[in-house]
Amino acid sequence: MRYSSIGSFLALVLASGVAHPEPAGLSVKERAEHEFLAEMEGGEDRNGARILREAVSRLRGLDLDLEPLSNQNPDATGSLSDYETYIPSTAVQHVPPLERALLDTYLSNPDDAVLARILGAYHVHASRKERRGTTVAQVKHDIYASYFLSRAVDLGAGDRWIPRALADAESRLRRAGGPGLIPMIEEGLPSHLGFIDAFNYDEGNRHVAVDGLLREFIRQPNNLMTNAYLAASNIWVGGEAAYNDATMLYSFLLSSYFVVRAVQMAEVVENAWLEDPENNPQFRLSSILGGWAIPARRWLASIHRDTEAVRALDEEHRYWLAINRAFHSASIGLMMFDEPENLMEGFGAWMAGFEHCQEVPGVRSCIDRPKMTFNRLSFTLGGVDYFLKAGQLDLAQYFLSVRRDPALALDFGYEDWDLGREGWEHRENNLTAIAALYSNGDPGDDPTNFLLKSHKWGPNTIVCQTCHQTQSRVWSEEVIEQYRYEPAHEDVAVVGEWPAITTTWYGASLPALSR
């Protein structure tokens, strides 16, 4: 039997009350419908029929024939304004076609409470079907369900089933998170090494690495390093997702969820170390956590058009900048680069990074290491774009001349920088024209920063590979081992007064009384 549309297929199921037909013989579109219904079924929620009726109204006319994923804007014309750094991305998150279409539609309509309810119900049911104890899939579904149902409430949905379903998902997450366990640190686990290998050498394993970290979280949820790596890995995956890949939302939700946990755990660990350093470990990444704590939540707040949350996150970020200028100069600077009202603050943050590295050159963020092979070149070229945008053409030319100094070029590894040389020379060859675009009073045709990537939804996002992939540079095993667990420089080893988390874990404004 064939059905002419998603609406007729769902309506038939609702009206008949019979089991869903087997997908054999159905078209691709109908199989997608079947997969969605299979996820939605399950008699635990008496509101299932009404949810599905709402789904009918949203799914009728929904286009499942989405455009193929494209690493860059398919409508780009090849102009200087459209030029972006090429970032390899050989892996995607595989989700059913209908789920991808729903995500696509939601990101284009993030204030649609019905879509939020549908996606929330979808993930609640998908989580409940995991009968094998806590699994990677269940943790993901519960985080996504918690987001979509919370978002529905934020948008005014008053359905009685939502608080119960939300409490159900959050209860499973609390159990998975090891309530009552004291935070600890264990490094060098296989999942940690798998993430580092993907991050530095084999980007195609990014999703495998994330799932490995999630399995490790399930095994030992109170390991601070695992939670921190889950935050960092998902900023990377989401930030470098294809231009029109709506699953970037999932990556940013995972990052946001785990980074709030990581910051809270890191504060506990630091306080214990300060009280008794002989018997408690120090977390070597504490002072860089702000650069992982803000990006995903700020992207989500921007998608939600929650300007109050964005302002709160920027204030939170400023505290982190004061703690470690060398690291947070990049995260603040990049997130403010495309915002005319914040441009000069972002530029000031970038310059603060240069200044910190001049004052304390031994800070890890100022040096090239096996885990950040092209740190100096990447930060320099990102700075060149700031100089051009701020009208400082002579300073941009001066910094670009670095590669023409044989000693500096060799020290920085310019010839081994496979992902950056084209972008550097593109700016050399088009310097005046790029500067003119930045200064013409039309932000809409401003070129993209070297360290940013554009997407169909939301602000441009930070890319990681230009700095962190080793590319053609070869590090000796001795050097790799020497810096594998490099401690923080004493100048940035202690956070001290920890910045408050200023939004919900998913980047929404906090109620006034809770601030």
Tell me, what's the pLDDT at 31? 56
CA torsion through residues 204, 231, 225, 311, sign? positive
Q: Which two tokens stand for residue 110?
A: 């993030």
pLDDT band at 176 (very low <50, low <70, confident <90, very high): very high
Specify the pLDDT at position 309: 98
pLDDT of residue 504: 98
Least confident of 221-235, 319-333, 398-412: 398-412
Query: Do residues 73 and 82 touch, judged by C-beta distance below 8 A?
Result: yes
The strand pairing partners of 503, in sequence order, are 509
User: Do 326 and 365 meet the contact criterion of CB atoms below 8 Å apart?
Assistant: yes
Give the pLDDT score at 159: 84
Q: Are 330 and 350 in contact (CB under 8 A)?
A: yes
Distance CA(156)–CA(150), nearest Å, equals: 10
pLDDT of residue 208: 98
- Main-chain phi, psi angles of 461, to 5 degrees: -120, 155
Q: Which of 435, 489, 388 is nearest to 380 (CA)?
A: 388
- What phi-psi label fits residue 2: left (phi over 0), alpha (psi between -120 and 50 degrees) or beta? beta
What is the Cβ-side half-sphere exposure of residue 453, based on CA atoms within 13 angstroms? 27
Looking at residue 42, the DSSP 8-state letter turns out to be -
Rounded CA separation 33/443 (Å): 42
Helix locations, 201-278, DSSP H: 206-219, 224-239, 248-275
Q: How many CB atoms lie within 10 A of CB 49?
A: 12
**324 vs 322: CA distance, rounded Å:** 6
Lookup: tokens for 509: 């404004």
Mean pLDDT, residues 111-119: 92
pLDDT tier for residue 27 given thresholds of 50, 70 and 90: low
- Does pLDDT of 346 surpass 60? yes
Instruction: Kindly report, residue by residue over 390-425, the tens digit of the pLDDT.
Output: 999 999 999 999 999 999 999 999 999 999 999 999
State the amino acid at position 136 in one-letter form. Answer: V
pLDDT at 48: 54
Contact by Cβ (8 Å): 462, 451: yes
63 has a pLDDT exceeding 90: no
pLDDT at 400 (0 to 100) = 97
Mean pLDDT of the 218-224 span: 98
pLDDT digits (tens, 9 = 90+) for 244-291: 999 999 999 999 999 999 999 999 999 999 999 999 999 999 999 999
The Cα 124–Cα 164 span in angstroms is 11
Average pLDDT of the segment spanning 81-110:
92
Per-residue buried b or exposed e for 270-292, using 16+ beta carbons within 10 Å of the residue's own CB: bebbeeeeeeebbbbbbbbbbbb
DSSP annotation of 508 reads P
Q: Which residue, among 80, 73, 76, has the nearest Cα to 427 in the 3D structure?
A: 80
Per residue, the 3-state secondary structure of 444-502, as one string, reads HHCCCCCCEECCCCCCCEECCHHHHCCCCCCCCHHHHHHCCCCCCCHHHCCCCCCCCCC
d(CA 443, CA 439): 9
Q: Which residue has the higher pLDDT, 213 or 161?
A: 213
DSSP, res 130: -
The tokens describing 112, both together, are 């649609």
Q: Is the pTM of this model over 0.85?
A: yes
Mean pLDDT over the full length of the chain:
89
67 pLDDT higher than 90: no
